[in-house]
Amino acid sequence: MSTPRPEEPQLRRVMGPKLLLFFVVGDIIGTGVYALTGQVAGRVGGALWLPFLLAFVVAFMTAFSYLELVGKYPRAAGAALYTNKAFGVPFLTFMVAFAVMCSGITSASSAAVAFGATYLAAFVKLPTVLVAIAFVLLLALVNFRGVGESVKANVVLTCIELSGLLIIIGVGVWAVLNGEGEPARLVEVDTADQTWLVAITSATSLAFFAMVGFEDSVNMAEECHEPVRIFPRAMLWGMVVAATVYVLVSVTSSLLVPAGDLASAESDALLKVLDVGAPGFPREIFSAIGLFAVINSALINMLMASRLLYGLANERVLPPIFGRVHPARRTPWVSIVFTSLIAIVLVSFADISALGGTTALLLLVVFAIVNVAVLVLRRDRVAHRHFRAPTVIPALAAVFCLYLVSPFSGRPAQDYRVAAILLAVGVLLWLVNWLVKRILAGGGTAEG
């Protein structure tokens, strides 16, 4: 059986099409574009809108695979569930789950550190680690309180973080209408020490991190009303909204500020755009918006990570304790506690800044596996109607994802080194999981 055990209450279905749309938009936008604009400009030059557009195309194609699979199997666990059904290799399923969980918890932990060290610091100085830990604990309480409260909070926070990007776009339009800006920068590609192809693909592999998040929503399938019906429209429109905002922000940034200045500003690149386009605009307002953006990003990622573990427990990939649901709050409380503890360890001891590129690398590998899985699972028929992707789309998406993973894309060597370390940790945890399941089975042979 892959459904929750009879003695366990079910998750509460509270998300309709509108809440799901806001979940997708909020998860994609998160803090990515706020932090990545300067770094992407440093890799590609003035044409920084192009990597964001290309990253959207690859992500949009991969979304078709997720939509077919969530339509066939509308349950929590997402990519790990699809991997398990397609290939039936417990070790591969566990490693895919580990990679996805790492992406969520690392993103949430990075947001927690950014909350204390960057955005809150603009208003009050407090020890970053203590603030980050308190931040993670607060997220855990909201998560435990219920998905209804969490996704409603996401609507408010998504509107706030969108307002910050709309301010940047509005400033750009106003400046251009008043004769400012340099349109020629929009087609400049930095080829000083690399070919134009490497410059573009290297920047795209980085910009791709800003487009991930849509896949988190499939882990919420058991908390959606009619997931088979509402997912296609909500996910695709959410991605289009996010990509449109990204491209407009990157065009505005390139028009008003030279790529070298954006790159030197790093995470403050959008503040640099604001200073040039609207010198009198209060920086504190934009810092406050950034504060809400990191809250939203962290909340959604912790929601996803806990539901992932819950779904895998119901698929018998993880010990059943992770499938425990609180009878009153109807939330997976054991998984929430476990993922929150990992996040606290990360914000306390880990060098989170080095994990961003590696997280994108691991997710691209996961996406390649999902794009193959959807083709393999065509042999598995289900009784209900569901979305079906044109065969050529997942095939091309798998090729593009693997190219962005490869060294030919210009990916830094550090990404591969950190990925190797993370995967080694994943192998160790798989062995621990195997032993725990063996013990729970009374000394019998474990499945994986």
What span, in angstroms and rounded, lies between the C-alpha atoms of 411 and 54? Answer: 16
Compute the half-sphere exposure of residue 386: CA atoms within 13 Å on the CB side of its CA.
24
φ and ψ of 13, to 5 deg: -85, 110
H helices present in 73-178, as ranges = 78-87, 90-114, 128-145, 147-177
Does an H or E element contain 270, and which? Answer: helix 269-277
Query: What pLDDT, on the 0 to 100 scale, is given for residue 65?
Result: 94
| Ranges of residues in the chain whose predicted pLDDT is under 70 | 1-8, 10, 30-32, 35, 76-77, 118-119, 266-267, 350-356, 443-448
Q: How far apart (Å, rounded) are the C-alpha atoms in residues 286 and 163?
A: 9
What is the reported pLDDT for 446?
A: 44
Domain boundaries along the sequence of the chain:
17-416
Distance CA 283, CA 271 (A): 7
Alpha-carbon gap, residue 435 to 314, rounded angstroms? 18
Q: Is 139 exposed, middle or buried (0-12, 13-18, 19+ CB in 10 A)?
A: buried
CB 446 within 8 A of CB 437: yes
Q: Residues 54-98: pLDDT tens digits? A: 999 999 999 999 999 988 888 766 788 899 899 989 899 889 988
User: DSSP code of 315?
Assistant: T
Domain 17-416 has CATH 3.30.530.20: no
Quick one: tokens of 50? 């192009």
Tokens of 39: 């770094």
CB 200 within 8 A of CB 44: yes
The pLDDT assigned to 267 comes to: 62
Look up residue 115 and give its two tokens.
Answer: 């909350």
pLDDT single digits (tens) 12-69:
777 888 888 888 888 788 666 776 788 888 889 999 999 999 999 999 999 999 999 9
Beta bridge partners of 15: 224
pTM assigned to the model: 0.81
DSSP string, 421-438: HHHHHHHHHHHHHHHHHH
Q: What is the maximum alpha-carbon separation in the chain?
A: 76
